[in-house]
Structure 1
Amino acid sequence: MTGLGLSDDNRPAIPHTRIDPAITGKAEGKRKNIILVIGEAAFADRHTTYGYTAQNTTPNMKAMADEERICVIKQAHSAANMTRAAVPMLVSFYDPDHQGALYTEKNLPELARDNGYRTFWIASQPGRGEYSRTFGYVSEFSDYVTRQDYNNTTNHVTWRDESLLPVIKEKFADPVSRKFFVIHLMGSHESYSDDRTQEDIRAIPDADPYDQSLHRTDRILQQIITMADKELGDYTLVYISDHGEIVGQGHGIQYGGYDQYKVPVYILDKDRYYCDMADGMRNKDKYYTGLMTKYLLLDMLGYDVDHDYIQNIQDNDRVLHSDGKVYDYKSIPRR
């Protein structure tokens, strides 16, 4: 696989010239401020917003959903069960059938810049090495980047998601009129005990560490929204996890089944236009695949996309599995 074979290649972020043929034109961006929050190893079936009742893992998102401030996209799945493949599928034209596009075509930070947006990538995850270079490479096309392993002398960003909040607040306040943010969280990556705080333990004391880690991400997401309300005002936010999780085992497991693909997706949009668009992008089996997320974002950024490309994804629900092979989602390997 071209993309994964180069995943530990620390090549510089030299601007691309080729635009994916899915894009047919552009106009002024439809949303002034766009925020993509990428979670980590969040299994949708453990979110209260998705019907989980054993613990209240997502009290903030549940309250916002009940108030109809956010929409919850049900039956969503990632297009890969590994971070190194799943994240670039959200922010570039790398997908199961076009893995070479990662290094040959303009990605979303580049396209956002081309259409008048200042771009920011703020991450608690690193961006170098075998497991993270794919998305680390994309991050470096942004106007501003900070990760725990990049441009971090004054920011003091660590693998703890709380460390991102001061940087997010500062960059939300940037006076430029159009901004595009990617916020990449550590979320619920193993070990789950490290992904919770005493506040989460006190809130749901009888929960296991995984549920407590989801509670923490819910708090982080609420804090991001509160800052966006104050500093940005006019914005649209999408939260999606990179992939799901087989709780207690992990992800990227050959015969692990569907838990490692089931992801939560939340959209906060002033008129729910993109909630409706996401629902309209469901495939013939009524699934929303993470591959559609980039097309939502491109529409927000003002880009026109050939409908045939969307239709092809709807007709062919493809995923890149941990064995490096491409499967129809309904036919991933099982014992």
Structure 2
Amino acid sequence: MKTCKVIKNNQWLILLLVYTVLSAIWAYIVITKSDILFNKSVFKNLLFYIDWVTTLCFIVLVHIGVYNRHYFIVGISTLFLFLFLSEISYFIYYGEIISVGILDSIVESNANEALSMSKQVLIIIGPAFIATALILFIFRKIITVKLRPTIPLSFCIISLSVMVCAITRDQSLNREAQRGYYKNNAVLFRHTYPAAVGNLSYLLASFASTNIYSSTNEIEKFNEAILLPPNKTDNDLVVLIMGESSLVSRYSTYGYHKQTAPFMTNIFSQNGACIIQNSHSAAAFTKDSLPLTLSFNIPESDDNLFNNKSIIEMAKFNHYKTYWLASPGQGIKDSFETKFGFIARKSDVVAFGKDMHDIYLSQLLEETLQQDNSPKKFIFVHLRGSHQPYENYDEIDKQALPDAEKYDLTIHHTDRTVKALYDVINKYSHNYTLIYTSDHGEIVNVGHGVSSTNVDQFLIPFMFISTNDRYNCQFIESFRSPTGYLSGLMNKYILSNLLGYDVDQTILNKEKNNDRVFMPDGSVMPFLKISNND
């Protein structure tokens, strides 16, 4: 009997030691990968020790829950174990912890995007599911130690109480909560409870915060950079074609060795056209990049999204009829309760193609131009482009590039799509300006928004053509940053000029001199820091 008791005590000590080491490792990973060290070493950061203890409490409580007599508690504990192992699996696969951008995308993605990412999700949750089953088997068959919940529960209650007090005393967080925005509150939970609980709380907060995008009221105020009144416009038709997940180095237009974009090369090599070198997006996610293009949103704050007219509303103010045309793969939720859905719903017309392949968007554009004789039109076209799983191509693309990988075929399909849209524009208008760019780049065969160091998710094409001599290559080049790059943050100012608005040069120069990007983890970083690290 004494021998059994000694073995049981030793098993308890060994198990607690293992849990303590695992908790310390996870806390170390979270601190070093979250960009929250503030120039301190990990072991001088108080948050490391807080995360260590909260993670240890989480693991101990999951252990206790698995042995509970009530099936509901066993099920909840198993779910939390699976979620935690999924986070570990994500880190092993990507070398990054799950970012707030990824969590927001889970909430704000449409069904098509969610299905398109199913392969990547399976890669993460598959090993986590197997590991969960294996650990449960070991718990039930080998480990018989039962731990007491008093200490971990007490610490969780105390730490939660302290955090609630801190949140209620923060006036800015209170103001955000009053307008229905809870995500910054949840960020504190992510920092304090890095094992599953924090990410789950952020998901719930992100879901609850989508109501702030539901307003249909027109915004009255113009951004301070816009000089009023607007001019009489000399562009009858302004078209912005927004690609998806397009890495500039895969375009033959920019020197790629395979002929992935012969049509665009021809179109944007004409008189009045230009192929812009060194262009980057303002963010690595569509949900962030589009608002930074189509509104006066800035990486540091969403306030301008709600307080200033968007490009759509500015176009309407200056007598343009506005259209939002998109591939079904880029469909917006019926509620429009996403950040760029908030902008899209302000358009006069929102319409989606009938086929998943982008090439058919030219038919939608032709129907639009045939049926509407409005003298001025601003049309935004959002492609499915090269979004994973890289299936936006057809037999024509495969015949043109028989030995190409799937990603290159999607670029070729985008090339054909832009050509088809360009032909429709030329057919119905002799006074137009057309821009083709992308919402962000792509780490080919990996994705986007999953790494904080890879510059490929920001490098994009930018091509421009106008029948108006006033809007030439020098016009576009005037928006280039001293860093040598044309930032996606300049899109709003370029479009403002095209739609008849003058821009305050002092504010514009300040923005040009501050070339930064919104990172997947929610931080803001100078673009050169990323490009130099690559």
Tell me, yes or no, whether TM beats 0.5: yes
Equivalent pair of 2:242/2:437 in contact (CA under 8 Å): yes
1:79 aligns with 2:282: yes
Deviations 1:181-213 (A, max 9, x none): 000111000001x11111100000111000010
* Residues 40, 329 of structure 1: alpha-carbon distance in 2 compared, 3 angstrom cutoff: same
Q: With structure 2 as the length reference, what TM-score do the two structures score? A: 0.58
Which one-letter code corresponds to 2:245 in the other structure? A
User: CA separation in 1, counterparts of 2:506 and 2:251?
Assistant: 34
- In structure 1, the partner of 2:232 is 28
- Within 1, Cα distance between the matches of 2:182 and 2:223? 20
Q: Find the partner of 1:231 among 419, 428, 431.
A: 428
**Distance of 1:131 and 1:206 partners within structure 2:** 40
| Ranges in structure 2 where 5+ consecutive residues have no aligned partner | 1-99, 101-175, 184-205
Give the whole-Å Cα distance in 1 for the aligned partners of 2:279 and 2:246.
12
More strand by share: 1
| 1:211 and 2:211 are equivalent in the alignment | no
Q: What residue is the counterpart of 1:135 in the other structure?
A: 340
Q: 1:39-59 CA distances to partner (integer Å, 9 max, x unpaired)?
A: 000000111111111x10001
Does the 8 Å CA contact 1:321/1:332 hold for their aligned counterparts?
no
Q: Distance in 2 between matches of 1:73 and 1:250?
A: 24
Conserved 8 A contact 1:40-1:185? yes
What's the secondary structure of 2:210's corresponding residue? coil
- Local SS of the residue matching 1:263: strand
Structure 1 CA distance for aligned equivalents of residues 244 and 419 of structure 2: 16
How has the CA–CA distance of structure 1 residues 121 and 4 changed in structure 2, closer, same or farther, with 3 Å as cutoff?
Answer: farther
The two structures, once aligned, show a CA RMSD in angstroms of 2.3
What is aligned with 1:49? 253
* Residues 1:17 and 2:220 are matched in the alignment: yes
> 125-134 or 293-302, which moves further after superposition?
125-134
Q: Does 1:258 align with 2:455?
A: yes
Alignment correspondent of 2:308 = 105
Q: 1:67 to 1:85 in 2, by over 3 A?
A: same
Which residue, out of 265, 277, 283, partners 2:481? 283
Does the CA-based 8 Å contact 1:71-1:267 persist in structure 2? Answer: yes
Judged with a 3 Å threshold, the aligned counterparts in structure 2 of structure 1 residues 116 and 131 are, in CA distance, closer, same or farther, namely closer
Deviation at 1:232, TM superposition (A): 1.7
1:110 partner SS: helix
Partner SS, residue 195 of structure 1: coil
Match of 1:65 in 2: 268
Contact in 2 for aligned 1:13/1:140 (Cα 8 Å): yes
Alpha-carbon distance, 1:84 to partner: 0.6
| Helix, strand or coil at the partner of 1:259 | helix
Residue identity matched to 2:350? V
Structure number with bigger Rg: 2
Q: 1:106 to 1:231 in 2, by over 3 A?
A: same
What's the CA shift for 1:8?
3.5
Return the alpha-carbon distance in structure 2 between the equivalents of residues 62 and 215 of structure 1.
12
SS of aligned partner of 1:169: helix
Alignment of 1:144-155 (within 5 A): 144-147=349-352
Give distance in 2, aligned partners of 1:223 and 1:162. Answer: 7
For residues 275 and 51 of structure 1, the distance between their equivalents in structure 2, rounded to whole angstroms, comes to 20
Give the one of 380, 384, 388 matched to 1:186: 384
| Cα shift at 1:272 | 6.6
AA aligned opposite 2:351 = T
Change (3 A) 1:4 1:86: farther
Aligned residues: 325
Higher relative contact order (CA 8 A, sep 6+): 1
Question: Cα–Cα, structure 1 residues 46 and 218, in superposed 2: closer, same or farther, change >3 Å?
Answer: same
Contact 2:359 2:416 (8 Å CA) reproduced: no
SS of the residue corresponding to residue 273 of structure 1 reads coil
* 1:305 partner letter: V
| Structure 1 position 4, deviation (Å) | 10
Question: Cα deviation per residue 1:285-325 (whole Å; 9 max; x = unaligned)?
Answer: 11100111111111111111101121112211111000000
Q: How far apart, CA to CA, are the structure 2 residues paired with 1:18 and 1:300?
A: 20
Structure with greater helix percent: 2
Shift of 1:12: 3.4
**2:488 is aligned with 1:296:** no
Spell out, residue by residue over 1:151-188, the C-alpha distance to the aligned partner (whole angstroms, 9 max, x if none). xxxxx635432342222101123211111000011100
Amino acid at match of 1:307: Q
